[in-house]
Structure 1
Amino acid sequence: MTAPATVTLTVVKGRLEPPDYVFDARTTCVVGRSPDCSPRLPNDDHHRTVSRHHCLIDINPPDIRVRDFGSLNGTYVNGEKIGQRSAGLTPAEAAGDSYPERDLTDGDEIRIGETVLRVGITRQVTRESVTCAKCGRDVGEKMHGRDGEMLCASCQSEPAAVLKLLLELARGGRGDLAAIRGYTVIRELGRGGMGAVYLARHESTAAEVALKVMLPRTAANATARTRFLREVALTRALTHPHVVALHDAGFADGTFYLTTEFCTGGSLDRLLAKRGGRLSAEEVVPLAVQALHGLEHAHQQGVVHRDLTPSNILLHPRPDGTMTAKIADFGIGKAFDQAGLSGLTRTGATAGKPMFMPRQQVVNFRRAEPAVDVWALAACLYNALTGKTPREFPPTKDPWQVVLQEPAVPIRKREPGVPPALADIIDHALQERPQIGFLSAAELRRELERV
């Protein structure tokens, strides 16, 4: 069996324990003097100019990238400064600037204050490139160091064409595509950074499903495929009126596919867009309570969503005209990322904005407690009532630094019309220091039901 690629950060100058930090799986590190950093630099005379949250190291072995947060004294790579805030600016003021980042290679050295870390990279394979599983084109040297299947950038930009081919192969009898045999695509339902989702109808039963294709940004080897599909199986076991049912999942020709229950009312974010960005408390609080019931069930089964936003709170109309809320994609996005299939997602031009993510999830990428979902659900409720997210995310400000440093804005500062009792509950739910306000979905649900 091929050994996994690894990234090692070795302390070559300074006093850190342990002297080696070895990473063989997808992760991120926030480096600085704050107690929640890892590696945490000492708070001594040699590191007075090191910021509490100094820089971010984004790792997806064998790839590694460092990003400075606008620190007081800068971050250095091989003696070259890659980021530093201007003289006279506070950390908050400097956050409005844009700071560079650097892809790192084997042997590079990162200096932060008086501490120096050397990068060591061991690669999984030695071949120079991977060919596209759909068109056969060379994916390029960027894939050096990984084995497995993926699609080229051109094919990834056309998920509908990818799905069309998969359905044709399924119709031709491919065993690894039996779960989607007989389906016809009706229309696209949505698209994101990892792929797209479509409404599909079975030709013989007329059953409708949401058919999602997820396209890896790195070569999907057997280990990554197994890891991701194992996490998907946990979601598949969830059965609850307020959780979108996952029917089937698989992998073929560089593409993951999933079929799920189709909710005809669309997603919460689309409803908000139709209503001018806001809903009344009378309408949205019952939806939040229903979603919390779904969270309770999943958490009891040991499944944490880790990526809850208004786009994956789906709605299904009831005969009386009201809506049933169902949570989709439990753990799917994060499992995809943690299996290393998303590439580097915390840095680069395509990095997402953590608008519905608590700081606990930024400083501890791999470990996610149920409370992070409770915070995210409260953030969704806040968004539905105000049309805004709990934190401000200016376009020039590093979003990860915002989450690390900025608390949620009290909701009545955004929307004075929110009832005081409800506002108190939401503000408490969005607390993060020293811990998240409500640690369980049941706690927040009971408080919302009370008001």
Structure 2
Amino acid sequence: MTATVTLRLIKGQLDRTEYVFDERTTCILGRANDCVPRLPSDPYHGTVSRHHCLLDINPPDVRVRDLGSLNGTFVNGEKIGQREARQTPEEGAAVSFPEHDLTDGDEIRLGETVFRVDIRLPVGYRTLSVSRCAKCDREMRGEPGVYVCAGCQAEPGAAALRLVELAHGGHHELTPIAGYTLLRELGRGGMGAVYLARDEDTGEEVALKVMLPRVAASPVARARFLREVELTRALRHPNIAALHDVGFADGTFYFTTEYCADGSLDQLLARRGGLLDVAEAVRLACQALAGLAYAHGEGVVHRDLTPHNVLLGNTDGSLVAKVGDFGLAKAFDHAGLSGLTRTGATAGKPYYVPRQQVINFRNVSPAVDVWALAACLYHALTGAYPRDFPHGKDPWRVVLQVEPVPIRQREPNIPVALAEVIDEALRENPESVFRTAQELREALLVHSG
């Protein structure tokens, strides 16, 4: 038995009265056609906004976020968010609406519709016994599994050094990295960091990535994550940064990957003053799309593509795009190891996230990677993002309701034919004609110089 979160209708007029969630996901409540649960657009539900609120679910944890609704979302009778009547939905989203953690028995009200949150735990899932951080040994109230405290989560560098020390000491779970020495940090993000490491026996340089769970890493969650990552490990393509070794020890997941010495697309943009010329940008995009097309053919979707993980190798003095971190963020999140962060303040803004990915969190198709790659190309040519994200506005509502700005409105010098391809690739309503990476690649190749 696994933990479940059930959204149960206790007041209202809906055909379906129960929604059960047993895996990491999100759902949006409102009157729009893409909402689940969807409330009808009729007089009874007239006080409910199109995209009213969002539930961030990682059973048994669940959190609600008001999306700038006109009449607010209520939890146990207390209003957690509302825009003023004179404000548009977009203006309302400029207010900072808090997220609220929910517990078993809490009631959520949207207009006249009320749902009760029922949380069910397997026997022994959580206890009130004292547990300890796998890193610093600090005592805390915990749950089954290996846990890393918030203080240690903020220091991924210490985790990487600790892993290498343990590996040199003969730790049986760290044999793949026993001969490595850390050279320098390459970058870090919300879940961990990446370091340049060298195999002292062969002299080979690799990227060593560490990821720290935000919740207790139970045996089931660890196995689920590592099983999904094995699909990525099998990928071999000139435009994909190869994943070599994968493991878990001392509360930390670690990976060794192909080292791309020329950095990433975002670093290249920084070196070039924020923009690439058309021929180079399109050439790199076509290479990344070739890698995506191969991975999609193997049944693997990236789901977290940004300029940060479009990595750059070098062949005969020419930059070569290699998609990195393939599937890691998706697998980490699906295993529930990221906690409730994907829509929170620590998740950052969804600059490269298509609408469909927010609506259908778990069951994303390869089309989300196609959209994200087109967004990366848009950014490389204009220095801007496809959507405007004004300061203070709820970024997730922006993704749900705001259309991308036509690229020639950002940069009028982009060739018309190329602009038409990019704008079409970013079109979401109705869906773009470019449903596969290969289709977009073929449309772009004529502009690659």
Does the 8 Å contact 2:9/2:17 carry over to 1?
Answer: yes
Does the 8 Å contact 2:343/2:396 carry over to 1?
Answer: no
In structure 2, the residue matched to 1:23 is 21
In structure 2, the residue matched to 1:397 is 393
Shift of 1:348: 3.3
Of 389-398 and 119-128, deviating more is: 119-128
Q: Equivalent residue of 2:47, what SS?
A: coil
Does the 8 Å contact 2:190/2:347 carry over to 1?
Answer: no
TM-score, with length taken from structure 1:
0.96
AA paired with 1:18?
A: R
Choose which of 3, 6, 9 in structure 1 pairs with 2:7.
9
AA paired with 1:135?
A: C
Q: Which runs of 4+ in 1 moved over 6 A?
A: none
In structure 1, the residue matched to 2:44 is 46
Please give the root-mean-square deviation of Cα atoms over the aligned residues, in Å: 1.2
Structure 1 residue 334 and structure 2 residue 325: aligned? no
Q: Equivalent residue of 1:315, what SS?
A: strand
TM-score, with length taken from structure 2:
0.97
In structure 2, the residue matched to 1:435 is 431
Does the 8 Å contact 1:65/1:347 carry over to 2?
Answer: no
Does the 8 Å contact 2:90/2:393 carry over to 1?
Answer: no
Q: Equivalent residue of 2:283, what SS?
A: helix
> Which whole-Å CA distance do the structure 1 matches of 2:82 and 2:112 have between them?
16
- 1:82-93 aligned at under 5 Å gives the runs 82-93=80-91
AA paired with 1:275?
A: R
- 1:190-205 aligned at under 5 Å gives the runs 190-205=187-202
In structure 1, the residue matched to 2:112 is 114
Shift of 1:20: 1.8
Shift of 1:292: 0.6
> Which whole-Å CA distance do the structure 2 matches of 1:129 and 1:265 have between them?
46
> Which whole-Å CA distance do the structure 1 matches of 2:267 and 2:280 have between them?
15
Shift of 1:126: 2.0
Does the 8 Å contact 2:96/2:394 carry over to 1?
Answer: yes
Does the 8 Å contact 1:170/1:180 carry over to 2?
Answer: yes
> Which whole-Å CA distance do the structure 1 matches of 2:38 and 2:405 have between them?
28
> Which whole-Å CA distance do the structure 1 matches of 2:244 and 2:351 have between them?
29
> Which whole-Å CA distance do the structure 2 matches of 1:86 and 1:436 have between them?
35
Shift of 1:418: 0.9
Choose which of 192, 199, 203 in structure 2 pairs with 1:206.
203
> Which whole-Å CA distance do the structure 1 matches of 2:16 and 2:332 have between them?
29
> Which whole-Å CA distance do the structure 2 matches of 1:373 and 1:130 have between them?
40
Does the 8 Å contact 1:130/1:219 carry over to 2?
Answer: no
Choose which of 208, 225, 228 in structure 1 pairs with 2:225.
228
For the structure 1 residues 129 and 398, does the alpha-carbon distance in structure 2 shift closer, same or farther, using more than 3 Å as the test?
Answer: farther
Of 114-123 and 336-345, deviating more is: 114-123
- Aligned-residue identity in percent: 65
In structure 1, the residue matched to 2:164 is 167
Shift of 1:171: 1.5
Of 321-330 and 212-221, deviating more is: 321-330
In structure 2, the residue matched to 1:95 is 93
Query: How many corresponding residue pairs?
Result: 444
Shift of 1:217: 0.3
In structure 1, the residue matched to 2:134 is 133
In structure 1, the residue matched to 2:65 is 67
Of 118-127 and 404-413, deviating more is: 118-127
Provide structure 2 residue ranges, at least 5 long, that are not aligned to the other structure: none
> Which whole-Å CA distance do the structure 1 matches of 2:432 and 2:358 have between them?
13
Shift of 1:135: 1.5
Of 9-18 and 262-271, deviating more is: 9-18
AA paired with 2:210?
A: V
AA paired with 1:271?
A: L
> Which whole-Å CA distance do the structure 1 matches of 2:306 and 2:344 have between them?
22
For 1:227-271, what per-residue CA distance to the aligned partner results, in whole angstroms no more than 9, with x for missing partners?
111111000111100011000101111110000000011000001
For the structure 1 residues 17 and 174, does the alpha-carbon distance in structure 2 shift closer, same or farther, using more than 3 Å as the test?
Answer: farther
AA paired with 1:101?
A: E
In structure 1, the residue matched to 2:379 is 383
Of 432-441 and 383-392, deviating more is: 432-441
In structure 2, the residue matched to 1:371 is 367
Choose which of 397, 407, 414 in structure 2 pairs with 1:411.
407
Shift of 1:179: 1.2
Does the 8 Å contact 1:150/1:253 carry over to 2?
Answer: no
> Which whole-Å CA distance do the structure 2 matches of 1:427 and 1:248 have between them?
39
> Which whole-Å CA distance do the structure 2 matches of 1:266 and 1:89 have between them?
44
In structure 2, the residue matched to 1:243 is 240
